[in-house]
């Protein structure tokens, strides 16, 4: 929220000016910062802020698909989301799900309401769903990318500079046992 208020000044500032800007902290609307922070906190699925080694009263009851090492977590450029939170977002229709797996994997099973992004060859881009991505981004809905273990195509989304991006590894297997969100 602070960065949003200072964005216009920071973009045009040189490095030294930016440092001075933060040391002075000009007239910031603290009430607006608090309101925006609370709104952001309410929008973010709780599992996206889950920390495995947090104090017990700070941990939610999230069943992440796997426990990853610190080295593996550093490879992620965005937060992971639990099946429980994803199910709630799907039920509220407040998520865009793009399935970048092959058509045969998508045909075997996919999340309800997901869009299958067809591979267009070596340079597979997201032009086919760019409008949906832009609408979800404008509405500040999470964008969930379902991909295979390697996550190569899902990581291409980052080059489009969309916010609210959450990748899902291992396809849709994480929801099939707990939530009736799979269509075949």
User: pLDDT (tens digit, 9 = 90+) per residue, 4-36?
Assistant: 777 787 888 888 888 887 776 667 788 888 898
Q: Per the domain annotation, does 115 fall within a domain?
A: yes
- Integer Cα distance of 144 and 131 in angstroms: 15
Q: How confident is the model at residue 89 (pLDDT cuts 50, 70, 90)?
A: confident
pLDDT higher than threshold 80 for residue 114: yes
Full DSSP string of the chain: -HHHHHHHHHHH--HHHHHHHHHH--S--HHHHHHHHHHHHHHS-GGGG--TTS-GGG------S----HHHHHT-SS----HHHHHHHHHTT--EEEE-S-HHHHHH-EETT-EE----STT--SGGGHHHHHHHHHTT--EEEE--TT-HHHHGGGGGT-SSEEEE-STTHHHHTT-S-EE-
Q: What is the pLDDT of residues 45-78, one digit of tens each?
A: 877 777 666 656 555 555 555 677 777 777 766 7
Q: Per the domain annotation, does 51 fall within a domain?
A: no
Q: In the chain, how many domains are there?
A: 2
Do 104 and 29 share a structural domain? no
Which range marks the domain in which residue 169 is found?
58-183
User: CATH no. for residue 104?
Assistant: 3.40.250.10
């Amino acid at each position: 929220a602070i960065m949003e208020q200072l964005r216009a000044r920071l973009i045009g500032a040189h490095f030294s000016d930016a440092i001075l800007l933060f040391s002075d902290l000009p007239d910031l609307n603290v009430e607006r910062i608090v309101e925006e922070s609370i709104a952001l906190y309410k929008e973010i699925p709780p599992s996206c802020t889950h920390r495995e080694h947090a104090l017990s009263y700070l941990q939610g009851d999230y069943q992440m698909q796997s426990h990853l090492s610190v080295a593996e977590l550093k490879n992620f450029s965005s937060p992971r989301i639990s099946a429980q939170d994803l199910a709630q977002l799907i039920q509220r229709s407040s998520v865009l799900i793009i399935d970048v797996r092959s058509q045969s994997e998508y045909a075997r099973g996919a999340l309800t309401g997901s869009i299958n992004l067809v591979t267009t060859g070596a340079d597979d881009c997201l032009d086919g769903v760019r409008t949906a991505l832009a609408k979800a981004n404008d509405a500040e809905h999470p964008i969930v990318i379902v991909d295979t273990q390697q996550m190569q195509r899902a990581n291409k989304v980052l080059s489009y500079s969309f916010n609210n991006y959450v990748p899902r590894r291992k396809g849709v297997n994480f929801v099939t046992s707990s939530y009736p969100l799979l269509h075949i």
